[in-house]
Chain A
């Protein structure tokens, strides 16, 4: 899948005024500048991610998916907004909750679904599963089963870009919980000291598994951690896809100009449990309800597009139908794909 706009037009996006709260939101007028087709594509990507996750959940319930899965429903705007400003040359590192990043970076859902069903046609030939989907050709260095495991790798990719003057930037996605790992701190420091072209993108969905980030750290905004490493840190509204794009673009420009990394913290929410079995005792149904009704990034974006007269409700239905078609095909492809051969067990291990 290709990206839907070139870098030139992005330069026109105005930088923000300060939002009402300290949390940055997108600027007035930003939609018009992006143009209808791009906006429609952002919407398409977000709906595709949500419906993909819902389909995965269903497959899981039907016992077709083995092991576990971590759904990113509710977090679509962060993946889509951040990847929207990247080219295929730019890289991402992802997490255990990585399906959205993968789709937003341009991977095809049929190969993802095949991987989740453990099929030979999957992105990892059925050997990786949900937590390890990688698509190096389009710059997805991989999901990761180890919390904060992707950050050092991302720095290494960025070092290569810098050393060889390749011009690409690396976006490392990680959760709020990951910021308590040593690997986070060591990576941010080294990237800062070496001015590596990295964007540290924290999807603060408020919880690391069952632990509220408020109880696990003593700071209000995780972006504040940036200052101790001498880099800019910014907290944004992770339900606002345009704000995510704008802020990632600024960080991207900074990285490309050789000024080094930025820490972006996007406040968001994971609607589902942490993984397959989670009674969600650590949070209230009211809190969930509030996020799901008042801070649904997809719903808000649709409303904005409608209110600003950019798109009609018929066009939204068209987008939704397109998503449905792509997903139906993906499921069919995955289900009809062969299992990996037994001989593949010992392939691809060097020693």
Chain B
């Protein structure tokens, strides 16, 4: 199979879907000839034309609302929000409008939009361009939240997001854009709400999201040398969450570590930890569930501090050991 990057996979599926469905189009800032801030829409305006690729003014609130309004009229817009931090500017339209319209109207109307947006730190963009705010979205009934960690997943999940009749926030990660993976050329669907076991193991379950999936896999490899067998689960979508796969894994291993980049306090990892504690996995737990998230600080600019603000492989290894060794 061909290897392409995470960014190329998303570009490819967007082109395929826009060509296949006349109601699909994309709008966003600098997505025309510039090809998007991270190059995700490179070549699209040339190939699909300005009717399908709408380069917008710097008006997040308006462009988000435009996407929602068009969706309500039967279109299926893709909105590129240049950095996920800018949801703050678009929040009313996402939270008060898109998420609630169908329910408030008694089941009338639907809002099939996909908001694609890069989150995460590690690129040196500092406090206002490096956040991981997915927990805000996951908290809102009516929004689905997707966080792919590989190019393969991104392509399949994107199509599922686009085919969904609800608003979906599709969180990409800046550090994953260049990561390569085997990706089929033809379009395919990975259903929302289906976790993926990225590595099988028997001693401890690590539930990790986005970039943390890769760090958890590295940690698992290291720990294998020490005789600790780690299972790594990527939920892939936070809403809906595949509780069953997580619970089944914890029943097998008896231990769980939840790893995420967002600020640990109030992050989505707390939800995952609760799901494990509240369900039938509880009886199988040999140790308390461990959460490992980012420090409660804005992301600093200095590269050393920036790394220290969010979990690194070393931190994951320590968190895993704390549950496996302490509660041996």
Contact A180–B58 (Cβ < 8 Å): yes
Binary CB contact string for chain B from 125 to 152 against chain A (1 if under 8 A, 0 otherwise) = 1111100000000000000000000000
A50 within 8 A of B: no
Binary CB contact string for chain B from 286 to 328 against chain A (1 if under 8 A, 0 otherwise): 0000000001111011111110110000000000000000000
Known contacts A209-B29, A339-B304; decide if A145 and B126 are in contact (CB<8 Å): yes
> Is B30 on the interface with A (CB-CB < 8 A)?
yes
Q: In the complex the two chains form, is B295's CB within 8 Å of A346's CB? A: yes
Please give, as numbers and ranges, the residues of chain B lying within 8 Å of A132 by CB-CB distance: 126-128, 301
| Count, chain A residues at interface, CB 8 A | 43
> CA separation between A67 and B29, bound complex, in Å?
20
Contact A178 B58 (CB under 8 A): yes
- Which residues, 103 to 139 on A, are CB-close (under 8 Å) to B? 115, 118-119, 124, 126-129, 131-132
Determine the chain B residues whose CB is within 8 A of the CB of A148 once the complex forms: 58
Of B58, B59, B60, B304, most A-chain CB atoms within 10 Å = B58
A166 — which chain B residues lie within 8 A by C-beta?
none
Contact B59 A127 (CB under 8 A): no
Contact status of A129 and B301, CB under 8 A, knowing A68-B124, A349-B296 = yes
List the count of A-B residue pairs having beta carbons below 8 Å apart.
Answer: 124
CA distance A340 to B308 in the complex (A): 12
- Do A210 and B301 touch across chains, with their CB atoms under 8 A apart? no
Query: Which of A129, A144, A183, A208 counts the most chain B CB atoms within 10 A?
Result: A129
Across the interface, do A131 and B30 meet the contact criterion of CB distance under 8 Å? no
B contact patch SS? loop
A209 near B295 with CB under 8 A, answer: no
CA distance A210 to B34 in the complex (A): 6
Q: Is the CB of B302 within 8 A of A118?
A: yes
Find chain B residues with CB under 8 A from A216 CB: 57-58
B89 interface contact, C-beta 8 A: yes
The bracket for how many chain B residues form the interface is: 35 or more
Given the interface pairs A178-B58, A342-B305, the reply to whether A129 lies near B29 with Cβ below 8 Å is no
Q: State in angstroms the CA–CA spacing of A344 and B308 once bound together.
A: 11
CA A60 to CA B51, docked complex, whole Å: 38
A120: min CB distance to chain B, Å: 9
Q: Which residues of A contact B88 (CB under 8 A)?
A: 146
Report yes or no: A118 in contact with B301, Cβ–Cβ below 8 A: yes
Are A344 and B305 touching (Cβ within 8 A)? Answer: yes
- Nearest chain A CB to B188 CB, angstrom units: 32
| A278 and chain B: residue at smallest CB distance | B34
Q: Is A16 an interface residue (CB 8 A)?
A: no
Question: Is A36 located at the chain interface by the 8 A CB criterion?
Answer: no
Query: How far does the alpha carbon of A66 sit from the alpha carbon of B11 in the complex, in Å?
Result: 27
Asked whether any CB of chain A lies closer than 8 Å to the CB of B189, the reply is no
Interface membership of chain A positions 248-280, coded 1 if the CB is closer than 8 angstroms to chain B and 0 otherwise: 000000000000000000000000000000100
Q: A31 at interface (Cβ–Cβ under 8 A)?
A: no
Task: Select which of B55, B62, B129, B301 is within 8 A of A211 by beta carbon.
Answer: B55
CB–CB A339/B302 < 8 A: yes
Q: A67-B124, A131-B128 are in contact. Are A180 and B57 (CB under 8 A)?
A: yes
User: CB of B33 within 8 A of chain A?
Assistant: yes
Query: Which chain A residue has the least Cβ–Cβ distance from B59?
Result: A180
Cβ of A282 < 8 Å from any Cβ of B?
Answer: yes
Are A129 and B126 in contact, with the CB atoms below 8 A?
yes
Quick one: which of B85, B124, B308 contacts A129, CB cutoff 8 A? B124
Residue contact A345 to B308, C-beta cutoff 8 Å = yes
Some 17 contacts from A to B, beta carbons below 8 A apart, are A66-B306, A128-B127, A131-B125, A131-B128, A132-B301, A146-B86, A146-B89, A180-B59, A181-B89, A182-B62, A209-B34, A210-B33, A215-B55, A282-B32, A340-B304, A345-B305, A349-B297
The 3 nearest A-B residue pairs measured at CB: A67-B124, A129-B301, A210-B34
Residues of B within 8 A of A (CB): 29-30, 32-34, 37, 55, 57-62, 85-86, 88-89, 123-129, 295-298, 300-306, 308-309
